[in-house]
Chain A
Amino acid sequence: MNLELISYAAFFLTVALTYAIMCLGLNVQWGQTGVFNVGIAGFVAIGAYVSALLTTPETAGRIGGFGLPIVVGCVAGALVTSGISFLIGALTIRLRSDYLAIATFGVAVAVQLCALNLQGLTGGPFGIGFIPRPFGEFAGNPLLFSLLNFGVLAVLVLVLYFVLERLARSPWGRVLRAIREDEAAAQALGKNAVKFRLQAFALGGGIMGLAGAVQAHFIGFIAPDNYQPILTFQVWAMLIVGGSGNNRGAILGAVLVWAIWAASAALVAAVFPAGEQARAATLQIVLIGVALCAILLLRPRGILGELRVVSRHLLKLPAAGGPTAEPNSKKAPHARNS
């Protein structure tokens, strides 16, 4: 009984952590740079499909199936997604901020179409199966298998977290924040806003692609239906709940929202008769939608807000205050102090 519980907890956390990676990617784009992405599902799908194509065994009637190692697939998925993000960003990032939103929405629609219709490449509506899973040889022992998977993801999320924290505190990350808060001032200091935004957008897109690839290898099966707009919506809800601009918030939000999602799904399954469940499941989405709007209205910072001071140099100055100082004010203090 206890073993089952641990096994389930590990499984639950593994899924939640795959969302945490997407959330970290979105945090680079939105939280740190203020670039909007409404096509998360599309970018995640690109990573998943690229990795699946590279790592699956050869299949009759489908291009791809190179049987490459999982790590190669994941890295390639991240790189390809990053490249596509770069192209879309290069096209729209100079224009009005919501043109990028519309363009990313278009990417999600186009990726969905390609996944459905390029049957020779993506397997069409039935998707791709038999995607190799890490530690597949231990699949006979569910407890060990789920713990190992969880371990891999936990390490991956931790590494990403530390790298992204480091980046956020680096000069590069501070320029991003400066551009987000006051583009004119940042440009007056000689920072090329378009270039920095584009870099952040491509980096965030790459992380989303990585998340898609990792999720594909964890589940072992992908289909176009996994990448509906609802996925985009969930990831947004996670970041907003956790606190945009804060990497720890991104991870916390992912686990929390996924827990609410799983619990409400269980509730729907328990309360409604089998025939009504598909219908009642739409209420879950209503719930998350209302929650997202409510948080935007009531607590726009999320649970863990953004740290006001990220530069460790400023922490040495007595006047600047510690990391627990005032919540996210509109002006970044380092812009004034430096």
Chain B
Amino acid sequence: MNPQTLMDGLIAGSMIGLGAVGITLTYSILRFANFAHGDMISWGAYFALAIAGALGAAFSGLLTPIGPFSFGWALPIAALAATVLNGGLALLVDALLFKRLRARNSTVIIMVMASFGAALTLRSLLEFIFTSKPAYYTNALQIALPLGGGIRATPDQMLSLAVSVVIVIAVHLLLSRTAIGRSMRAVSENVQLSGLVGIRVRRVIRIVWVLGAVLAAIAGVFAGVLVQIRPEMGLDLLLPLFAAAILGGIGSVPGAMFGGLIIGVSEALAVGVVGAQWRAAVSFVILIVVLLVRPQGLFGRAE
């Protein structure tokens, strides 16, 4: 295997992994496949785009690139604000839609369908506000630096990899070492019993929505930095995200990141063999193979 292919795959895979961590969390704790997660990624990217644009217009000093990166301080600040706004958006969608469906004890499939409706609404709203023209955080060009062993990567790409790893570790620690993490895992095991032992289930659900939206916003900003920002960016990521989450095992945070990296590397390899136009088929093939061979995923438990 060409080491550069592996590197490219890992970089793309870290983005998929970040999104998949959000999917796997909402899936295991809220108990349905949230088709709107991809569009939360797009919303995060566009929130950051709008805020970075406004910041850059107000204080042009914020646009000077930081060190080796392609963006100025406007983007990290905007990304931070975008995570907050995206969390608010998730809470709003929950309050308007999912909370009411939960209150009515709707079946899983009704929730999935509602998320499908929310996904199209969110995406079309983005397209209406920002049009479908691709956007970029910066027009600066970056030179890929040699890393040794014939591998090259831009500073932005290395930052994306590093941030993904840090975030996965942080989320994993949050789930395994903190009180709120224990409550989340309890709710994912059994909602009624967690309520009985005094866990505030509604609060846990709100926190999961916000956490998922924050992760989506970060994934969206990195996707925007490394590729481009389009209203359909989240839709295009959705199948790889689901494939990664199921491959890793629903509920497993390290599994989701690992699944994302596998899918990223497989895509990079497949592009070399069958051409870039078949990239999206890779996730489908992996999804089918996982469902066929090991439906509980690599790190999941059998139902």
Contacts and interface: CB of A to CB of B under 8 A. Distances in A.
A105 interface: yes
A285 B110 contact: no
A230 B284 CA distance: 20
A293 interface: yes
B108 A98 contact: yes
Contacts of A103: 287-288, 291
B269 interface: no
A296 B121 CA distance: 14
A234 B129 CA distance: 22
A116 B277 contact: yes
A296 B243 CA distance: 28
Nearest to A230: B120
A236 B246 CA distance: 25
B109 to A, nearest CB: 5
Given A103-B287, A109-B239, A279 B120 contact: no
A283 interface: yes
Interface of B is mostly: helix
B120 A296 contact: no
B109 A106 contact: no
B233 interface: no
Interface stretch (A61-69, A89-97, A129-137, A318-326): A89-97
Nearest to A105: B239
B114 A99 contact: no
Contacts, number: 116
Contacts of B291: 91-92, 95, 99, 103
Interface residues of A, number: 41
Given A36-B109, A98-B33, A102-B246, A233 B116 contact: yes
A68 B291 CA distance: 38
Interface in B226-246: 235, 238-239, 242-243, 246
Interface residues of B, number: 43
Contact of A99 (B121, B131, B295): B295
Given A96-B303, A106-B283, A286-B128, A101 B238 contact: no
A289 B118 contact: yes
B1 interface: no
24 contacts: A91-B288, A92-B291, A96-B108, A96-B303, A98-B32, A99-B295, A101-B35, A102-B242, A103-B288, A106-B287, A109-B284, A113-B277, A113-B280, A117-B277, A117-B278, A236-B113, A240-B113, A280-B128, A286-B121, A286-B125, A293-B114, A296-B101, A297-B97, A297-B101
Interface of A: 34, 36, 38, 91-92, 95-99, 101-103, 105-107, 109-110, 113, 116-117, 229-230, 233, 236, 240, 278-280, 282-283, 285-286, 288-290, 292-293, 296-297, 300
The 5 closest A-B pairs by CB, nearest first: A289-B121, A285-B124, A98-B33, A292-B117, A106-B284
Interface of B: 32-33, 35, 96-97, 100-101, 107-110, 112-114, 116-118, 120-121, 124-125, 127-128, 131-132, 235, 238-239, 242-243, 246, 277-278, 280-281, 283-284, 287-288, 291-292, 295, 303
